[in-house]
Structure 1
């Protein structure tokens, strides 16, 4: 009788092993749930990016303002009749004594 009980206990342990430690166990389920949450967050970020790109494509298709803005920012586009002004920081000029002084446009 004792050996039958022992065999049944070993069979129960063998059948429960996969539930607790094998493929598809509780640990795998928790890990998969965490990866699903992370993937949903990534998907939401991609959806937001796609919405922004769709709005930009629509704006490019409908008007020239966006094209002008992109050309100005990326290519330095200047329209006819506009004047381009470039502001630069004052340059430093070394002197004979080794002390640097700020040079102005009149000094040059």
Structure 2
């Protein structure tokens, strides 16, 4: 009967060690939950960025206004018949 007590005691110690310090332990689970929260926030940011880019692609594919706006801002495009004014501040 004494050896049964020893075996059960060893089993209890082993399972308690696994519960508190091993893989899948309480501390490890909390760490994984924190990582999950951070990854969820990053994913939400990326989803917003992807939605913005998808809307921009849709505008570029369907409308000439978006193309001309980008050409004006990035390339300095001026349509025929328009007058372009540039204001330069003088340094004092």
TM range (shorter): 0.7 to 0.9
- Give the number of the structure whose residues are more often strand, by fraction: 1
Q: Where does the alignment leave 5 or more consecutive residues of structure 2 unmatched?
A: none
SS in 1 for 2:79: coil
Equivalent residue number for residue 18 of structure 2 = 18
**Structure 1, unaligned runs of 5 or more:** 93-108
How far residue 8 of structure 1 moved from its aligned partner, in angstroms, is: 4.0
RMSD between aligned residues: 1.9
| 2:47 alignment counterpart | 47
CA offset digits 1:69-107 (Å, max 9, x no partner): 011111111111111111111233xxxxxxxxxxxxxxx
TM-score, structure 2 as length reference:
0.85
- C-alpha displacement at 1:14, in angstroms? 2.2
| Number of residue-to-residue matches in the alignment | 92
Give 1:89's aligned residue: 89
Q: 1-side partners of 2:20 and 2:36: how far apart?
A: 21
- 1:31-61 Cα offsets, whole Å, 9 max, x none, are 1111111111111111111111111111111
Between the aligned partners of 1:44 and 1:91, the Cα distance in structure 2 is: 45
Task: Give the TM-score normalised by the residue count of structure 1.
Answer: 0.74
Q: Which has the higher helix share?
A: 2
Partner of 2:37: 37
